[in-house]
Structure 1
Amino acid sequence: MTDTRNLPRDLAWAQQLQHAAGAVGQQHLDLIIDQTGWHKAFTPILKDFNPPLLWCSLLAGTPHEALGDDAPLLLRLDLQDDAHQQWLEDLIEHFAGEPRLLAMLSPAPFDDLARHLRHCLQITWPDGEGLLRFYDPRLIASVDDMLTSEQKTLFHGQTRMWAWLDRDGQPAWLAGQWSPMRRWPEQLPTLHLDRGQVDRFTSSTEAEAATLAFIFQYGPQGHAREALFKQMRAACWQADVLNLLDQRDREGLVQRYVVHGPGFLQKSPWIGRIALWNAGHLKPGQLWIDLPVEPALRPLPAPPAP
Structure 2
Amino acid sequence: MIPTAKDWLHRLMTEARSAQLDHLDVLINCAALPAPLLPKLFELTPAPSCAWLFEQTPEQELAHQGPVLLRIVLASQEQCAGIAELLNAAHHNFCALILISRWPFTDLTAHLRGATQATWSNGACCGVLRYYDTRLFRYFCDQLTPHQQGLFHAPVIQWHWIDHDSKAATLSGFDSRPDNQNTLSGMSMSDEQVLHLQAVSAAVQWFKAYEKTPNEHGFTSREAMIRCLFTVHLDISRQKLEKRHHEDFIACALSEHLPLTLTRGEAT
Q: TM-score, normalised by structure 2?
A: 0.85
Q: What secondary structure is seen at the aligned counterpart in 2 of 1:56?
A: strand
| Residue 248 (structure 2) aligns with | 252
Alpha-carbon distance in 2 for matches of 1:92, 1:43: 11
Does the 8 Å CA contact 2:38/2:86 hold for their aligned counterparts? Answer: no
Secondary structure, aligned partner of 2:176: coil
Which residue is 2:73 aligned to? Answer: 78
Change (3 A) 1:29 1:48: same
Aligned match of 1:139 in 127, 136, 140? 136
How many angstroms apart in 2 are the aligned matches of 1:119 and 1:103? 18
Cross-structure match for 1:195: 191
Among all aligned residue pairs of Structure 1 and Structure 2, give the percentage whose two residues are the same amino acid.
26
Deviation at 1:236, TM superposition (A): 2.2
Q: Work out whether residues 115 and 185 of structure 2, in 8 Å CA contact, stay in contact via their aligned partners in 1.
A: no
Q: Aligned pair 1:55/2:50, yes or no? A: yes
> What is the one-letter code of the residue matched to 1:10?
A
Letter in 2 for 1:206: A
1:18 aligned onto 2:34: no
SS in structure 2 of the partner of residue 130 of structure 1:
strand
Structure 1 contact 162–175 (Cα < 8 Å) conserved: yes
Highest Rg: 1 or 2?
A: 1
Q: Which of structure 1's runs of 4+ aligned residues deviate more than 6 A?
A: none
Is the CA contact 1:124–1:193 (under 8 Å) kept in the aligned structure 2?
A: yes
Residue 140 of structure 1 aligns with an amino acid whose one-letter code is: F
Corresponding residue for residue 160 of structure 1: 157
Distance 1:165 1:37 in 2: 14
**Aligned pairs for 1:184-223 within 5 A:** 184-185=180-181, 188=184, 190-214=186-210, 216=211, 218-219=212-213, 221=215
Distance in 2 (alpha carbons) for counterparts of 1:92 and 1:188: 28
Preserved CA contact (<8 Å) 1:34 1:136: yes
Q: Give the secondary-structure state (helix, strand or coil) at the position aligned to 2:91.
A: coil
Question: Following the alignment from structure 1 to structure 2, what is the Cα–Cα distance between the partners of residues 187 and 137?
Answer: 22
SS at 1:260's partner residue? Answer: coil
Whether contact under 8 Å (1:33, 1:102) holds in the other structure is yes
Instruction: After superposition, give the CA deviation of every residue in 1:73-117 in whole Å (9 maximum; x if it has no partner).
Output: 100111222222222321211113211111001100001000111
Compared with structure 1, are the counterparts of its residues 247 and 129 closer, same or farther at alpha carbon in structure 2 (3 Å cutoff)? same
How far apart, in 2, do the equivalents of 1:86 and 1:39 lie? 18
| Residue 298, structure 1, aligned to residue 259, structure 2 | yes
Query: How far apart, CA to CA, are the structure 2 residues paired with 1:8 and 1:199?
Result: 33
Q: Pairwise CA RMSD of aligned residues? A: 2.6
Q: List runs of 5+ in structure 1 lacking aligned partners.
A: 262-296, 302-306
Deviations 1:269-304 (A, max 9, x none): xxxxxxxxxxxxxxxxxxxxxxxxxxxx51499xxx
Name structure 2 gaps, 5 residues minimum. 264-268
Letter in 1 for 2:56: G
* TM-score for the superposition, normalised by structure 1: 0.75
Taking CA–CA contacts closer than 8 Å with sequence separation of 6 or more, which of the two structures ends up with the larger relative contact order? 2
Q: Deviations over 1:235-278 (max 9, x none)?
A: 2234445x2422344433433333325xxxxxxxxxxxxxxxxx
